[in-house]
Amino acid sequence: MDYKLLARKYIGKPFKSGGRGPKFFDCWGIVIAFMKDINGPELESYDKLYKNVTDGISITRIAEQEIHSWYSINGRELQPGDVPFYKMGPQQMHVGIMVNNNTMLNSCLNIGAVIERYDSALWKQRLIGVYRHVEMLL
**Run of H or E including 63:** helix 59-66
This prediction has a pTM of 0.79
- CB neighbourhood size of 65 (10 A): 12
What's the chain's average pLDDT? 79
User: Residue 68: which residues within 8 A CB-CB, separation 6 or more?
Assistant: none
pLDDT band at 58, cuts 50/70/90?
A: very low
How large a percentage of the chain has pLDDT more than 90?
32
Q: Region 69-95: what's the mean pLDDT?
A: 83
* Residue 75 Cα to chain centre, angstroms: 16
pLDDT band at 11, cuts 50/70/90?
A: very high
Distance (Å) of CA 24 to CA 10, 20, 104, 114: 9, 6, 18, 13
Paired with 89 in beta bridges are: 92
Q: What is the pLDDT of residue 2?
A: 86
Q: Which domains does the chain have, with CATH numbers?
A: 3-136 (3.90.1720.10)
- CB neighbourhood size of 18 (10 A): 14
